[in-house]
Structure 1
Protein backbone atom coordinates (compact mmCIF):
# COMPACT_ATOMS: atom_id res chain seq x y z
CA UNK A 1 0.00 0.00 0.00
CA UNK A 2 1.18 3.52 -0.80
CA UNK A 3 2.46 5.34 2.27
CA UNK A 4 0.66 8.68 2.24
CA UNK A 5 1.81 11.59 4.38
CA UNK A 6 -0.64 12.68 7.05
CA UNK A 7 -0.56 15.13 9.94
CA UNK A 8 -1.60 13.99 13.40
CA UNK A 9 -3.23 16.71 15.49
CA UNK A 10 -5.64 17.21 18.36
CA UNK A 11 -9.01 18.93 18.40
CA UNK A 12 -9.56 20.42 21.88
CA UNK A 13 -13.28 20.80 22.53
CA UNK A 14 -14.94 22.28 25.59
CA UNK A 15 -15.80 18.83 26.97
CA UNK A 16 -13.16 16.47 25.50
CA UNK A 17 -10.03 16.38 23.33
CA UNK A 18 -10.15 14.28 20.19
CA UNK A 19 -7.30 12.94 18.05
CA UNK A 20 -7.38 13.46 14.29
CA UNK A 21 -5.39 12.95 11.09
CA UNK A 22 -5.26 15.32 8.14
CA UNK A 23 -4.48 14.37 4.55
CA UNK A 24 -3.91 17.21 2.10
CA UNK A 25 -3.54 20.95 2.64
CA UNK A 26 -5.15 22.61 5.65
CA UNK A 27 -6.57 25.50 3.61
CA UNK A 28 -8.61 23.25 1.29
CA UNK A 29 -12.36 22.51 1.63
CA UNK A 30 -12.90 19.85 4.27
CA UNK A 31 -14.06 16.28 3.92
CA UNK A 32 -14.63 15.02 7.48
CA UNK A 33 -14.66 11.24 8.02
CA UNK A 34 -16.36 9.41 10.92
CA UNK A 35 -15.39 5.78 11.53
CA UNK A 36 -17.42 2.81 12.74
CA UNK A 37 -17.88 1.22 16.14
CA UNK A 38 -14.58 0.02 17.69
CA UNK A 39 -12.68 1.30 14.63
CA UNK A 40 -10.69 4.54 14.49
CA UNK A 41 -9.29 7.12 12.09
CA UNK A 42 -6.92 4.57 10.53
CA UNK A 43 -9.86 2.67 9.04
CA UNK A 44 -9.77 5.43 6.39
CA UNK A 45 -6.09 4.91 5.48
CA UNK A 46 -6.87 2.78 2.38
CA UNK A 47 -9.48 5.30 1.24
CA UNK A 48 -7.09 8.22 1.78
CA UNK A 49 -4.48 6.47 -0.36
CA UNK A 50 -7.07 5.90 -3.08
CA UNK A 51 -8.18 9.54 -2.84
CA UNK A 52 -4.57 10.58 -3.49
CA UNK A 53 -4.33 8.33 -6.54
CA UNK A 54 -7.54 9.86 -7.91
CA UNK A 55 -6.25 13.41 -7.34
CA UNK A 56 -8.89 14.41 -4.80
CA UNK A 57 -6.36 16.19 -2.59
CA UNK A 58 -5.76 18.72 -5.33
CA UNK A 59 -9.07 20.30 -4.33
CA UNK A 60 -9.91 18.96 -0.84
CA UNK A 61 -8.42 17.92 2.48
CA UNK A 62 -9.53 14.85 4.41
CA UNK A 63 -9.79 14.98 8.21
CA UNK A 64 -10.35 11.67 10.00
CA UNK A 65 -11.15 11.83 13.72
CA UNK A 66 -11.07 9.25 16.48
CA UNK A 67 -14.47 9.34 18.15
CA UNK A 68 -14.42 9.57 21.98
CA UNK A 69 -13.15 6.35 23.54
CA UNK A 70 -11.64 5.17 20.24
CA UNK A 71 -8.07 5.33 18.93
CA UNK A 72 -6.01 8.11 20.50
CA UNK A 73 -8.95 10.25 21.64
CA UNK A 74 -9.86 10.82 25.27
CA UNK A 75 -12.49 8.72 26.99
CA UNK A 76 -15.61 10.28 28.41
CA UNK A 77 -15.11 10.87 32.15
CA UNK A 78 -16.78 8.82 34.87
CA UNK A 79 -18.39 5.41 34.72
CA UNK A 80 -21.73 6.39 33.26
CA UNK A 81 -23.09 4.37 30.32
CA UNK A 82 -22.34 5.70 26.84
CA UNK A 83 -25.09 6.88 24.50
CA UNK A 84 -24.69 7.02 20.72
CA UNK A 85 -26.61 10.27 20.46
CA UNK A 86 -23.85 12.05 22.42
CA UNK A 87 -21.62 11.63 19.36
CA UNK A 88 -23.89 14.11 17.57
CA UNK A 89 -22.94 16.73 20.16
CA UNK A 90 -19.27 15.84 19.60
CA UNK A 91 -19.69 16.21 15.84
CA UNK A 92 -21.32 19.63 16.20
CA UNK A 93 -18.40 20.79 18.33
CA UNK A 94 -15.82 19.39 15.89
CA UNK A 95 -17.42 21.08 12.89
CA UNK A 96 -17.55 24.40 14.72
CA UNK A 97 -13.88 24.03 15.63
CA UNK A 98 -12.45 22.99 12.24
CA UNK A 99 -14.76 24.64 9.71
CA UNK A 100 -12.85 27.19 7.63
CA UNK A 101 -14.65 30.52 8.00
CA UNK A 102 -17.90 28.68 8.66
CA UNK A 103 -17.78 26.87 5.33
CA UNK A 104 -20.00 23.73 5.30
CA UNK A 105 -18.07 20.46 5.32
CA UNK A 106 -18.55 17.33 3.27
CA UNK A 107 -19.26 14.51 5.72
CA UNK A 108 -18.37 10.82 5.30
CA UNK A 109 -19.69 8.29 7.79
CA UNK A 110 -19.10 4.54 7.89
CA UNK A 111 -21.41 2.29 9.96
CA UNK A 112 -21.75 4.01 13.38
CA UNK A 113 -20.16 7.05 11.76
CA UNK A 114 -22.88 6.98 9.11
CA UNK A 115 -25.58 6.80 11.77
CA UNK A 116 -24.08 9.84 13.49
CA UNK A 117 -23.63 11.72 10.22
CA UNK A 118 -27.17 11.05 9.01
CA UNK A 119 -28.76 12.14 12.27
CA UNK A 120 -26.63 15.29 12.46
CA UNK A 121 -27.44 16.19 8.87
CA UNK A 122 -31.14 15.70 9.60
CA UNK A 123 -31.15 18.43 12.24
CA UNK A 124 -28.18 20.64 11.22
CA UNK A 125 -28.06 20.22 7.46
CA UNK A 126 -27.03 23.83 6.90
CA UNK A 127 -23.55 22.86 8.15
CA UNK A 128 -23.20 20.04 5.60
CA UNK A 129 -22.18 20.58 2.00
CA UNK A 130 -22.55 16.96 0.86
CA UNK A 131 -23.24 13.75 2.78
CA UNK A 132 -21.66 10.36 2.07
CA UNK A 133 -23.00 7.35 3.95
CA UNK A 134 -21.17 4.00 3.80
CA UNK A 135 -23.05 0.96 5.10
CA UNK A 136 -25.54 3.01 7.12
CA UNK A 137 -28.52 5.11 6.14
CA UNK A 138 -30.01 6.30 9.42
CA UNK A 139 -30.23 5.57 13.16
CA UNK A 140 -31.09 2.05 14.28
CA UNK A 141 -34.58 1.56 15.68
CA UNK A 142 -36.74 -1.05 17.36
CA UNK A 143 -40.30 -1.46 18.57
CA UNK A 144 -41.36 0.48 21.66
CA UNK A 145 -42.30 -2.81 23.32
CA UNK A 146 -38.59 -3.55 23.80
CA UNK A 147 -37.94 -0.37 25.83
CA UNK A 148 -38.35 -1.88 29.30
CA UNK A 149 -36.37 -5.04 28.50
CA UNK A 150 -33.55 -3.06 26.89
CA UNK A 151 -33.25 -0.70 29.86
CA UNK A 152 -33.36 -3.52 32.42
CA UNK A 153 -30.74 -5.61 30.60
CA UNK A 154 -28.57 -2.54 30.08
CA UNK A 155 -28.59 -1.67 33.79
CA UNK A 156 -27.79 -5.27 34.77
CA UNK A 157 -24.95 -5.35 32.27
CA UNK A 158 -23.61 -2.06 33.66
CA UNK A 159 -23.65 -3.49 37.20
CA UNK A 160 -21.59 -6.50 36.12
CA UNK A 161 -19.21 -4.19 34.23
CA UNK A 162 -18.66 -1.98 37.30
CA UNK A 163 -17.67 -5.02 39.36
CA UNK A 164 -15.08 -5.97 36.75
CA UNK A 165 -13.35 -2.58 36.89
CA UNK A 166 -11.35 -3.63 39.96
CA UNK A 167 -9.68 -6.42 37.98
CA UNK A 168 -6.38 -5.90 36.13
CA UNK A 169 -6.65 -4.74 32.52
CA UNK A 170 -6.50 -7.77 30.19
CA UNK A 171 -3.27 -7.87 28.19
CA UNK A 172 -1.83 -9.70 25.18
CA UNK A 173 1.70 -11.02 24.87
CA UNK A 174 2.12 -9.27 21.52
CA UNK A 175 0.33 -7.04 19.04
CA UNK A 176 -0.02 -9.99 16.67
CA UNK A 177 -2.13 -11.86 19.22
CA UNK A 178 -4.47 -8.87 19.54
CA UNK A 179 -4.71 -8.55 15.76
CA UNK A 180 -5.62 -12.23 15.44
CA UNK A 181 -8.23 -11.81 18.18
CA UNK A 182 -9.87 -8.98 16.26
CA UNK A 183 -9.74 -11.03 13.06
CA UNK A 184 -11.35 -14.08 14.67
CA UNK A 185 -14.04 -12.00 16.37
CA UNK A 186 -15.10 -9.91 13.37
CA UNK A 187 -13.86 -11.75 10.28
CA UNK A 188 -12.27 -8.52 9.06
CA UNK A 189 -9.29 -9.16 6.75
CA UNK A 190 -5.97 -9.31 8.60
CA UNK A 191 -4.34 -6.25 6.94
CA UNK A 192 -7.28 -4.10 8.01
CA UNK A 193 -7.34 -5.64 11.48
CA UNK A 194 -3.68 -4.67 11.82
CA UNK A 195 -4.33 -1.06 10.76
CA UNK A 196 -7.21 -0.58 13.17
CA UNK A 197 -5.82 -2.59 16.07
CA UNK A 198 -2.47 -0.80 16.26
CA UNK A 199 -4.16 2.56 16.85
CA UNK A 200 -6.53 1.05 19.41
CA UNK A 201 -3.77 -0.53 21.53
CA UNK A 202 -1.39 0.60 24.27
CA UNK A 203 1.63 -0.99 25.94
CA UNK A 204 1.53 -1.84 29.65
CA UNK A 205 4.69 -3.43 31.10
CA UNK A 206 5.79 -4.68 27.69
CA UNK A 207 2.38 -6.21 27.00
CA UNK A 208 -0.44 -4.97 24.77
CA UNK A 209 -3.82 -3.85 26.06
CA UNK A 210 -6.81 -2.24 24.42
CA UNK A 211 -6.80 1.54 24.60
CA UNK A 212 -10.47 1.70 23.62
CA UNK A 213 -13.02 2.60 26.28
CA UNK A 214 -14.40 -0.76 27.52
CA UNK A 215 -17.85 0.82 27.90
CA UNK A 216 -18.11 0.81 24.11
CA UNK A 217 -18.95 -2.89 24.28
CA UNK A 218 -21.98 -2.35 26.52
CA UNK A 219 -25.46 -2.33 25.00
CA UNK A 220 -27.37 0.92 24.65
CA UNK A 221 -29.90 1.60 27.40
CA UNK A 222 -32.43 2.80 24.88
CA UNK A 223 -33.06 2.91 21.16
CA UNK A 224 -35.31 5.05 18.98
CA UNK A 225 -38.57 3.70 17.66
CA UNK A 226 -39.16 3.79 13.91
CA UNK A 227 -41.59 6.67 14.41
CA UNK A 228 -38.86 8.72 16.07
CA UNK A 229 -36.30 7.92 13.36
CA UNK A 230 -38.81 8.66 10.61
CA UNK A 231 -39.73 12.01 12.17
CA UNK A 232 -36.05 12.93 12.58
CA UNK A 233 -34.96 11.91 9.10
CA UNK A 234 -37.80 13.39 7.03
CA UNK A 235 -36.76 15.19 4.90
CA UNK A 236 -33.24 16.37 3.98
CA UNK A 237 -32.34 18.17 0.77
CA UNK A 238 -28.58 17.68 1.31
CA UNK A 239 -26.98 16.10 -1.75
CA UNK A 240 -26.34 12.57 -0.49
CA UNK A 241 -24.45 9.49 -1.67
CA UNK A 242 -25.21 6.11 -0.10
CA UNK A 243 -22.71 3.29 -0.67
CA UNK A 244 -23.76 -0.19 0.36
CA UNK A 245 -21.78 -3.43 0.20
CA UNK A 246 -22.96 -6.55 -1.59
CA UNK A 247 -21.97 -8.57 1.47
CA UNK A 248 -22.58 -5.89 4.09
CA UNK A 249 -24.62 -5.71 7.28
CA UNK A 250 -28.23 -5.73 6.16
CA UNK A 251 -29.52 -4.59 9.55
CA UNK A 252 -27.78 -1.25 9.00
CA UNK A 253 -29.23 -0.73 5.53
CA UNK A 254 -32.69 -2.29 5.79
CA UNK A 255 -34.05 1.27 5.85
CA UNK A 256 -32.93 1.66 2.23
CA UNK A 257 -36.63 1.51 1.30
CA UNK A 258 -37.07 4.79 3.15
CA UNK A 259 -34.19 6.57 1.39
CA UNK A 260 -36.34 8.56 -1.01
CA UNK A 261 -38.56 9.67 1.88
CA UNK A 262 -35.68 10.76 4.05
CA UNK A 263 -33.53 12.31 1.30
CA UNK A 264 -34.88 14.35 -1.59
CA UNK A 265 -31.55 14.22 -3.44
CA UNK A 266 -29.84 10.85 -2.94
CA UNK A 267 -27.79 8.55 -5.14
CA UNK A 268 -27.77 4.86 -4.14
CA UNK A 269 -24.79 2.67 -5.10
CA UNK A 270 -23.99 -0.95 -4.22
CA UNK A 271 -20.38 -2.09 -4.64
CA UNK A 272 -18.55 -5.38 -4.20
CA UNK A 273 -17.20 -5.97 -0.72
CA UNK A 274 -18.12 -6.54 2.90
CA UNK A 275 -19.04 -4.11 5.67
CA UNK A 276 -15.56 -2.53 5.48
CA UNK A 277 -15.63 -2.13 1.70
CA UNK A 278 -14.04 1.34 2.04
CA UNK A 279 -10.93 -0.61 3.04
CA UNK A 280 -11.13 -3.77 0.91
CA UNK A 281 -12.53 -2.02 -2.19
CA UNK A 282 -11.04 1.40 -1.52
CA UNK A 283 -10.20 2.26 -5.14
CA UNK A 284 -13.75 1.89 -6.44
CA UNK A 285 -15.22 3.53 -3.35
CA UNK A 286 -12.81 6.47 -3.83
CA UNK A 287 -13.68 6.72 -7.51
CA UNK A 288 -17.40 6.80 -6.66
CA UNK A 289 -16.92 9.39 -3.93
CA UNK A 290 -14.59 11.50 -6.09
CA UNK A 291 -17.16 11.72 -8.88
CA UNK A 292 -19.82 12.70 -6.33
CA UNK A 293 -17.72 15.30 -4.50
CA UNK A 294 -16.38 16.96 -7.66
CA UNK A 295 -19.72 17.02 -9.46
Structure 2
Protein backbone atom coordinates (compact mmCIF):
# COMPACT_ATOMS: atom_id res chain seq x y z
CA UNK A 1 0.00 0.00 0.00
CA UNK A 2 1.40 3.35 -1.05
CA UNK A 3 1.51 6.50 1.03
CA UNK A 4 -1.12 8.82 -0.44
CA UNK A 5 -1.18 12.59 -0.20
CA UNK A 6 -3.99 15.15 -0.24
CA UNK A 7 -4.30 17.95 -2.85
CA UNK A 8 -1.68 20.00 -0.95
CA UNK A 9 0.82 17.13 -1.15
CA UNK A 10 0.46 16.54 2.59
CA UNK A 11 0.81 13.11 4.17
CA UNK A 12 1.09 11.72 7.69
CA UNK A 13 3.45 8.88 8.61
CA UNK A 14 2.84 7.10 11.91
CA UNK A 15 6.02 5.59 13.32
CA UNK A 16 6.04 3.37 16.41
CA UNK A 17 7.37 6.21 18.58
CA UNK A 18 6.20 9.42 16.88
CA UNK A 19 4.03 10.80 14.06
CA UNK A 20 5.70 12.69 11.22
CA UNK A 21 4.19 15.08 8.72
CA UNK A 22 5.55 15.12 5.19
CA UNK A 23 4.99 16.39 1.68
CA UNK A 24 5.05 14.18 -1.41
CA UNK A 25 5.50 15.47 -4.94
CA UNK A 26 5.57 13.50 -8.19
CA UNK A 27 3.81 10.67 -10.01
CA UNK A 28 3.39 7.35 -8.21
CA UNK A 29 5.24 5.41 -10.89
CA UNK A 30 8.47 7.39 -10.36
CA UNK A 31 11.38 6.35 -8.11
CA UNK A 32 11.43 7.98 -4.68
CA UNK A 33 13.97 10.42 -3.28
CA UNK A 34 13.63 10.71 0.50
CA UNK A 35 14.45 14.33 1.39
CA UNK A 36 15.67 15.30 4.87
CA UNK A 37 15.74 19.01 5.73
CA UNK A 38 18.11 21.04 7.88
CA UNK A 39 17.93 22.45 11.40
CA UNK A 40 14.93 24.78 11.94
CA UNK A 41 13.78 24.22 8.33
CA UNK A 42 11.01 21.86 7.21
CA UNK A 43 9.69 19.86 4.24
CA UNK A 44 8.87 23.07 2.34
CA UNK A 45 12.59 23.59 1.75
CA UNK A 46 12.41 20.95 -1.00
CA UNK A 47 9.46 22.47 -2.85
CA UNK A 48 11.75 24.36 -5.29
CA UNK A 49 13.59 21.13 -6.18
CA UNK A 50 10.30 19.30 -6.72
CA UNK A 51 9.51 21.64 -9.61
CA UNK A 52 12.57 20.39 -11.52
CA UNK A 53 13.01 16.77 -10.38
CA UNK A 54 9.76 15.74 -12.05
CA UNK A 55 11.17 12.33 -13.03
CA UNK A 56 11.19 11.39 -9.32
CA UNK A 57 8.83 11.38 -6.39
CA UNK A 58 10.14 13.69 -3.66
CA UNK A 59 9.12 12.55 -0.18
CA UNK A 60 10.12 15.34 2.20
CA UNK A 61 9.49 14.74 5.89
CA UNK A 62 9.37 17.20 8.77
CA UNK A 63 11.77 16.09 11.48
CA UNK A 64 10.18 15.81 14.96
CA UNK A 65 9.64 19.25 16.43
CA UNK A 66 9.80 20.88 13.00
CA UNK A 67 7.00 21.91 10.65
CA UNK A 68 3.81 19.94 11.24
CA UNK A 69 5.44 16.89 12.87
CA UNK A 70 4.83 15.84 16.44
CA UNK A 71 7.21 17.07 19.14
CA UNK A 72 9.23 14.57 21.14
CA UNK A 73 7.50 13.87 24.46
CA UNK A 74 8.80 15.19 27.76
CA UNK A 75 10.94 18.20 28.52
CA UNK A 76 14.38 16.64 28.31
CA UNK A 77 17.11 18.07 26.03
CA UNK A 78 17.33 16.83 22.44
CA UNK A 79 20.29 15.15 20.76
CA UNK A 80 21.18 14.65 17.12
CA UNK A 81 21.44 10.87 17.59
CA UNK A 82 17.65 10.77 18.09
CA UNK A 83 17.22 11.56 14.39
CA UNK A 84 19.12 8.41 13.43
CA UNK A 85 16.43 6.33 15.12
CA UNK A 86 13.72 8.41 13.40
CA UNK A 87 15.30 7.73 10.02
CA UNK A 88 15.62 4.01 10.71
CA UNK A 89 11.97 3.75 11.78
CA UNK A 90 10.88 5.78 8.75
CA UNK A 91 12.72 3.51 6.31
CA UNK A 92 11.13 0.47 7.96
CA UNK A 93 7.66 2.05 7.74
CA UNK A 94 7.74 2.97 4.04
CA UNK A 95 5.88 0.59 1.71
CA UNK A 96 8.17 -1.58 -0.38
CA UNK A 97 7.21 0.25 -3.59
CA UNK A 98 8.23 3.56 -2.01
CA UNK A 99 11.58 2.52 -0.63
CA UNK A 100 13.92 5.34 -1.64
CA UNK A 101 16.17 5.17 -4.65
CA UNK A 102 18.20 7.89 -2.95
CA UNK A 103 18.33 9.80 0.33
CA UNK A 104 18.80 13.56 -0.05
CA UNK A 105 19.95 15.49 3.00
CA UNK A 106 20.53 19.20 3.46
CA UNK A 107 22.65 20.44 6.38
CA UNK A 108 21.39 18.58 9.51
CA UNK A 109 19.49 16.20 7.23
CA UNK A 110 22.71 15.41 5.38
CA UNK A 111 24.60 14.90 8.64
CA UNK A 112 22.00 12.37 9.77
CA UNK A 113 21.90 10.63 6.40
CA UNK A 114 25.68 10.32 6.10
CA UNK A 115 26.08 8.97 9.64
CA UNK A 116 23.21 6.51 9.24
CA UNK A 117 24.37 5.17 5.87
CA UNK A 118 27.95 4.88 7.16
CA UNK A 119 26.63 2.37 9.71
CA UNK A 120 23.99 0.80 7.43
CA UNK A 121 25.17 1.05 3.81
CA UNK A 122 22.68 -1.55 2.63
CA UNK A 123 19.68 0.71 3.38
CA UNK A 124 19.97 2.85 0.23
CA UNK A 125 21.92 2.84 -3.02
CA UNK A 126 22.51 6.57 -3.43
CA UNK A 127 23.24 9.43 -1.03
CA UNK A 128 22.85 13.09 -1.99
CA UNK A 129 24.43 15.60 0.41
CA UNK A 130 23.83 19.34 0.12
CA UNK A 131 26.04 21.51 2.34
CA UNK A 132 26.66 18.58 4.69
CA UNK A 133 29.28 15.91 5.22
CA UNK A 134 29.47 14.16 8.61
CA UNK A 135 28.49 14.56 12.26
CA UNK A 136 29.95 17.69 13.85
CA UNK A 137 32.94 17.19 16.11
CA UNK A 138 35.12 19.17 18.50
CA UNK A 139 38.04 18.69 20.87
CA UNK A 140 37.67 16.85 24.16
CA UNK A 141 38.69 19.98 26.05
CA UNK A 142 35.34 21.62 25.19
CA UNK A 143 33.18 18.89 26.70
CA UNK A 144 32.87 20.42 30.18
CA UNK A 145 31.91 23.87 28.89
CA UNK A 146 29.44 22.37 26.43
CA UNK A 147 27.70 20.41 29.18
CA UNK A 148 27.56 23.49 31.40
CA UNK A 149 26.03 25.53 28.57
CA UNK A 150 23.48 22.80 27.91
CA UNK A 151 22.35 22.80 31.54
CA UNK A 152 22.10 26.57 31.53
CA UNK A 153 19.95 26.51 28.39
CA UNK A 154 17.75 23.74 29.75
CA UNK A 155 17.11 25.51 33.06
CA UNK A 156 16.09 28.62 31.13
CA UNK A 157 13.79 26.53 28.93
CA UNK A 158 12.11 24.98 31.97
CA UNK A 159 11.59 28.38 33.56
CA UNK A 160 9.85 29.60 30.40
CA UNK A 161 7.36 26.73 30.20
CA UNK A 162 4.81 28.56 32.37
CA UNK A 163 5.05 31.80 30.39
CA UNK A 164 2.33 32.64 27.84
CA UNK A 165 2.94 31.89 24.18
CA UNK A 166 4.37 34.80 22.22
CA UNK A 167 2.21 35.81 19.25
CA UNK A 168 3.08 37.73 16.11
CA UNK A 169 0.68 39.88 14.14
CA UNK A 170 1.29 37.93 10.95
CA UNK A 171 3.66 35.45 9.35
CA UNK A 172 5.26 38.11 7.15
CA UNK A 173 6.87 39.78 10.16
CA UNK A 174 8.33 36.50 11.37
CA UNK A 175 9.64 35.69 7.89
CA UNK A 176 11.29 39.09 7.64
CA UNK A 177 12.91 38.61 11.05
CA UNK A 178 14.48 35.33 9.85
CA UNK A 179 15.60 37.06 6.67
CA UNK A 180 17.38 39.79 8.65
CA UNK A 181 18.95 37.27 11.04
CA UNK A 182 20.18 34.71 8.48
CA UNK A 183 20.39 36.69 5.19
CA UNK A 184 18.41 33.89 3.51
CA UNK A 185 16.33 35.33 0.63
CA UNK A 186 13.00 36.62 1.86
CA UNK A 187 10.95 34.40 -0.48
CA UNK A 188 12.55 31.29 1.01
CA UNK A 189 12.11 32.58 4.55
CA UNK A 190 8.42 33.02 3.78
CA UNK A 191 8.14 29.48 2.39
CA UNK A 192 9.79 27.97 5.46
CA UNK A 193 8.00 30.17 7.98
CA UNK A 194 4.57 29.25 6.60
CA UNK A 195 5.12 25.68 7.79
CA UNK A 196 6.93 26.44 11.03
CA UNK A 197 4.12 28.67 12.34
CA UNK A 198 0.44 28.18 13.09
CA UNK A 199 -2.57 30.49 13.01
CA UNK A 200 -4.55 30.93 16.21
CA UNK A 201 -7.26 33.38 17.27
CA UNK A 202 -4.70 35.71 18.87
CA UNK A 203 -2.42 35.76 15.81
CA UNK A 204 0.38 33.48 14.65
CA UNK A 205 2.97 31.70 16.78
CA UNK A 206 5.85 29.32 16.27
CA UNK A 207 5.00 25.64 16.42
CA UNK A 208 8.64 24.53 16.26
CA UNK A 209 9.90 22.82 19.40
CA UNK A 210 11.82 25.47 21.42
CA UNK A 211 14.25 22.77 22.57
CA UNK A 212 15.72 22.79 19.06
CA UNK A 213 17.56 25.99 19.98
CA UNK A 214 19.17 24.60 23.15
CA UNK A 215 22.88 23.89 23.15
CA UNK A 216 23.79 20.23 22.63
CA UNK A 217 25.03 18.48 25.80
CA UNK A 218 27.64 16.45 23.94
CA UNK A 219 29.49 16.53 20.65
CA UNK A 220 31.60 13.75 19.17
CA UNK A 221 35.37 14.01 18.93
CA UNK A 222 37.19 13.89 15.60
CA UNK A 223 38.49 10.37 16.26
CA UNK A 224 34.93 9.11 16.81
CA UNK A 225 33.65 10.71 13.60
CA UNK A 226 36.69 9.51 11.67
CA UNK A 227 36.11 5.93 12.84
CA UNK A 228 32.41 6.10 11.88
CA UNK A 229 32.93 7.58 8.43
CA UNK A 230 35.85 5.40 7.27
CA UNK A 231 35.10 3.22 4.22
CA UNK A 232 31.68 4.76 3.60
CA UNK A 233 30.33 2.48 0.90
CA UNK A 234 27.25 4.28 -0.46
CA UNK A 235 27.43 5.98 -3.85
CA UNK A 236 27.51 9.66 -2.79
CA UNK A 237 27.16 13.10 -4.37
CA UNK A 238 28.32 16.09 -2.30
CA UNK A 239 27.02 19.48 -3.47
CA UNK A 240 28.49 22.60 -1.89
CA UNK A 241 27.58 26.23 -2.43
CA UNK A 242 30.10 28.81 -3.60
CA UNK A 243 28.86 31.02 -0.74
CA UNK A 244 28.07 28.16 1.63
CA UNK A 245 30.00 27.05 4.68
CA UNK A 246 33.74 27.32 3.87
CA UNK A 247 34.51 24.54 6.36
CA UNK A 248 32.66 22.12 4.09
CA UNK A 249 34.75 22.92 1.05
CA UNK A 250 37.91 22.71 3.17
CA UNK A 251 36.87 19.22 4.31
CA UNK A 252 36.57 17.73 0.80
CA UNK A 253 40.05 16.11 0.91
CA UNK A 254 38.97 14.36 4.11
CA UNK A 255 35.69 13.36 2.45
CA UNK A 256 37.62 11.77 -0.40
CA UNK A 257 39.44 9.66 2.17
CA UNK A 258 36.22 8.63 3.94
CA UNK A 259 33.95 7.76 1.01
CA UNK A 260 34.69 4.88 -1.33
CA UNK A 261 32.43 6.35 -4.05
CA UNK A 262 32.24 10.15 -3.90
CA UNK A 263 31.53 12.82 -6.49
CA UNK A 264 31.80 16.47 -5.45
CA UNK A 265 30.49 19.56 -7.19
CA UNK A 266 30.38 23.23 -6.26
CA UNK A 267 27.49 25.34 -7.56
CA UNK A 268 26.59 29.00 -7.23
CA UNK A 269 24.63 29.65 -4.08
CA UNK A 270 24.63 29.93 -0.31
CA UNK A 271 23.92 27.32 2.36
CA UNK A 272 20.36 26.96 0.98
CA UNK A 273 21.39 26.66 -2.66
CA UNK A 274 18.86 23.84 -3.16
CA UNK A 275 16.23 26.58 -2.88
CA UNK A 276 17.94 29.56 -4.53
CA UNK A 277 19.61 27.54 -7.30
CA UNK A 278 17.15 24.65 -7.52
CA UNK A 279 17.42 24.20 -11.29
CA UNK A 280 21.18 23.57 -11.33
CA UNK A 281 21.11 21.51 -8.14
CA UNK A 282 18.38 19.36 -9.72
CA UNK A 283 20.43 18.96 -12.90
CA UNK A 284 23.43 17.79 -10.86
CA UNK A 285 21.28 15.29 -8.96
CA UNK A 286 19.69 13.97 -12.13
CA UNK A 287 23.06 13.56 -13.88
CA UNK A 288 24.47 11.72 -10.87
CA UNK A 289 21.54 9.32 -10.53
CA UNK A 290 21.43 8.64 -14.26
CA UNK A 291 25.10 7.67 -14.55
Give the TM-score of the pair, scaled to structure 2: 0.94
- Check the 8 A contact 1:50/1:286 in 2, yes or no: yes
CA positional deviation for 1:105: 3.6
CA positional deviation for 1:102: 8.6
Q: Deviations over 1:35-82 (max 9, x none)?
A: 010000000011111213xxx2xxx31100000000000000010000
- Check the 8 A contact 1:136/1:253 in 2, yes or no: no
The 5 Å alignment of 1:139-158 reads: 139-158=135-154
Match of 1:111 in 2: 107
CA positional deviation for 1:23: 1.1
CA positional deviation for 1:100: 1.7
Give the TM-score of the pair, scaled to structure 1: 0.93
The 5 Å alignment of 1:29-48 reads: 29-48=31-50
> Runs of at least 4 residues of structure 1 off by over 3 A?
101-105, 251-254
Change (3 A) 1:6 1:254: farther
- Check the 8 A contact 1:179/1:193 in 2, yes or no: yes
Q: Work out the CA distance in 1 between the residues paired with 2:252 and 2:151.
A: 32
CA positional deviation for 1:121: 0.7
Q: Does 1:7 align with 2:3?
A: no
Q: Does 1:190 align with 2:191?
A: no
Match of 2:4 in 1: none
The 5 Å alignment of 1:102-181 reads: 103=99, 105-181=101-177
Q: Deviations over 1:111-146 (max 9, x none)?
A: 000100100110011011100000011111000111
Could you tell me which of 74, 77, 81 is aligned with 1:81? 77
The 5 Å alignment of 1:186-225 reads: 186-225=182-221
CA positional deviation for 1:204: 2.5
Tell me, what secondary structure is at the counterpart of 1:142? coil
Match of 1:25 in 2: 27
Match of 1:284 in 2: 280
5+ residue gaps, structure 2 = 1-6
Root mean square deviation of aligned Cα: 1.4
- Check the 8 A contact 1:6/1:23 in 2, yes or no: no
